[in-house]
Amino acid sequence: MKRYRFKIEYNGTPFCGWQRQTNLTSVQGEIEAALTKIGELNAIVHGAGRTDAGVHATGQIAHTDLQKRWQSFRLMEALNANLRQSGIAILSCEGANNEFHARFSAIKRRYIYRIIQRRAPLTVDSGLAWNVRTYLDLTAMKEAAKLLIGNHDFTTFRSTECQVTSPVKTLDTLDVNAVADSEKMIVIISTTARSYLHKQVRSLVGCLKYVGEGKWTSENLQEALIARNRKACAPIAPACGLYLTEVYYE
């Protein structure tokens, strides 16, 4: 058996998420089906992040063990030929040692969330960003985001379906930036951490949007964090704006 490491890009719109599920279309399942088509039966693909339904990736990392020893370029080309209509692309492929694990070897993950602020509905970016029609105060959002950086109990910002034992996580960064033109403003909220709770990033974004709209102050966000109660969270951001962009390793 030979282990291979992939960097993967996908549009998450048609998928139930990364993880394989019975009778549903998943990113993991599509890649495993592509491996079957090239003769690698029963191969299991392990991803660095189990992205939810509708969440995209430009830098997902995965690994798998294969029976045949492939030239990395030819393996990438063979998979892409079978994934061409799926919305999934293998960006790179390389051999890896048996100690490497896409999920458990990762030391940090980076996600971004795209908000497009404009009155008109999205067309080109439909399904690829959150269309917010109200004005957002970026300065207020930037200041509020600082309160969430560091080690905290993020119970308020975790899904009720989250299966992680501890709600305590450490956010290394949480930044709010924007690019504006005459027709729209693109707001990028980026964050890095070793790991996240289920729907944590979307919950944080939803709360920062409340701050940007003036519905909350920084003090309200602080109170929500301290409450450690899911009911204190603002409505979460939709999946369409979230991207896994990078996974870091030693």
Among all residues, which ones are annotated catalytic? 52
Q: Is 41 exposed, middle or buried (0-12, 13-18, 19+ CB in 10 A)?
A: exposed
The phi, psi pair for 155, rounded to 5°, reads -55, -40
Distance CA 183, CA 197 (A): 35
Q: What's the half-sphere exposure (Cβ side, CA atoms, 13 Å) at 55?
A: 22
Largest CA distance in the chain: 58
Take residue 74 and report the two structure tokens written for it: 């030819």
Distance CA 38, CA 72 (A): 14
